[in-house]
Structure 1
């Protein structure tokens, strides 16, 4: 997952901060094997020492260094703390907490220095709001005046300085999420992502606070293989021409702008679209359906629709080749062309009935497998509001008052999931799963298990399975207000049945629904390791053995189990 954020300008407080306003710099000094590089590191350290607005420089070093090694005239402002290892972000947050430091904390790479613009930090709202700065740098040339230093890029994937006020320091329980080193490739993209999960607004406004990078050589001491894994996030700096940002990390900003309707949808913040939409519909007592563009199910549905319209045979080979995967992964058995056509009809009906739908971002890997059918959906339903499917990853919004599940407050929720036995046990514990936050305040729950037809489980033709299941739904139609569905290839079909026949609301949440209740699957252990590191506790569990289908390891490596 790769998220794109457009930074807002630095907010200016009503009055400059006059309490706890000392500026502390945190970095690590080291002696490089090349003299030329040592000169650069010493220059930066000396420049920060000479800055009249810097109160203290905390060098969290691997060993103690002499003034000669550091190239400093004195120890003025310098405090060396021997941590015996390479500096991590976790080490800084922990050091600030343990030493009860008060004021503004400026974390930076060793080859960065500040100018006098850092004095404006006291005019910001960092001390008042849950914000952190992540700043794009300027490229310093010792042969030129720094006022002529060009900005780096401008780029959205690169920040070298991070500033926060100690009143908004990371909580002790959250420090473990930042156990990665300064300077490691991708650390800047990782920290923006994690801060966003924690509810921080990340400010990247290099027009106000200027930082300078001094590194003349293009050679680096790290390689692509050292990069931190996804998820990543980039922060487009305030005040720049967004479309001038060069492609990086597989993100083409021009493509993102086009697909997101000018950064209005298919963005990380789309949980607010869901929250506002659901709140409005519930307030009006109007039923609604929220489908999502699926994977090979979408290909089958769209290609069958095209075949129906054009009588083409070009897609027949695709159907033949991929039908086993539809059965294995999505649990949809399509023995003949009539079944495929019927599935297509029922699948697309959900999108015809909706006002809002989940879709995929152009910079992701998922869309590569469904690009043609995804484009078809966009073009066929141009008046439908699209939101980023990953907005359904509720663990990204735990600390946000608009986490979309909170719009369901007091409702009777129908959970459609293969993991209902596990989920039922979590209901009394749900406020203990995510740092004390109840994602479903004052809600009550009804449960039903969908057809278990994936992997090695036996299945009849999909519509037989579907019809049998909908009869079970009919028996409880008066017991719930809104359904949250996670039932493989049946998802959009079941949601549409609920909307049309029961006149109730339904959201196709998908596989991530189990994570709402602390049921950990292998997919999230691998793809959302930062989230697991933040929230995993003794109340979480893996699915029960009875909830595992035969040969579940054949379903994307047992990703749900």
Structure 2
């Protein structure tokens, strides 16, 4: 296997599987891309890993080419192994044969890629010569170039699928994320030019074509790389990360395309929370709660801000990374971030939710989100202690596996703010008994609550992940009796709320045992 001579090892090392196709116009495009990359002064060497021996006599700069005949389609695993074996401590790029780069590669100078990998969405060259980037809705799953620093750890990674197969981009992103790498897509900064004018350049048409291919039969035949996927959003920053995990359950399928290290996606058994997860994925929750309780946000923020201020006093950070879990429309994240920024502290926002539609609303209200992940807090790809603060505002009562969620929060978070309704109280329990369990069934159907907490139960669970720094009963009854909410309630409800507000003044803890109040807590994870 050829080695890289040290005297010409400077610059980016580019891996490409160049090939000869049977279409004359298409071949001209592939040749044009190779020529452009050979002429790029930021590329030190081009490593051609080919299926057969190509004729390269028509290309200039022959000393810039390292040719290795591997006699098979290139897989991600093979490409990473090759780069590891030829490690020169530099930066490597793995790209499709119809990609070439311009001067924007200069932005890689001085960038520390330790533990990070760039996944670049392509910019399509149009018939008039202009560039058009694939819209993010499609571009998040279409990466044609990967930038990394060797060695790449292949431990616990399944990468034996071929480049260029539909689904390969998002699957390798998932595998790399699972292996502990931070994946980002600075494709507005580093431009990967895609030359393919022999096909219709409309991304919508191609997306429909690919969706039509995503069948069990095609997966078995190796025509599609199966999920799970990780979608990587395009940004203009070399530091930003925007990912979207597809955390659904898939049927078990054969994967003949995994030649070197087979991967099987397993059918998941039904869990108690499956109906609840389907409520969010199907849009039923939003149908039942179209405002996502936006009218409650101003009042709830007044209860959360003291905990945020206490967190800031204890953490002393000049910058804060926040993860909003199950944040609905993202209004809590927005208001809390604005409050923190008012103290001249930078905020980096991230969000996790089971619902794609809620994540869309999150992005509408928080256009500066760095990452959005469709999935459960019970298991994530985030690094240990990645977040300074995690928001769990009215979320824990929805979680199907609370111990798993708390373990994950303990792993990824330094501090967590919880707000949880106290629905295991005398008043609700009597109503539930009278209705023969109907109250809790109604609560589940309308708002998806699986867990009904008393303060004692909640305290024990939260203390299992760290120290409770502060815990406040919120006196939700003052909000229920406010003028805006007052018009929504009947006389009987107002009488109950008035009695509860009176008991709250005597003893907040006693009130929570008798009536449905809520608790807001700041927990330091340990």
TM-score tier, shorter chain, comes to: 0.3 to 0.5
Which of structures 1 and 2 has the larger relative contact order (alpha carbons within 8 angstroms, sep 6+)? 1
Structure with bigger strand share is 2
Q: Normalization by structure 2: what TM-score? A: 0.47
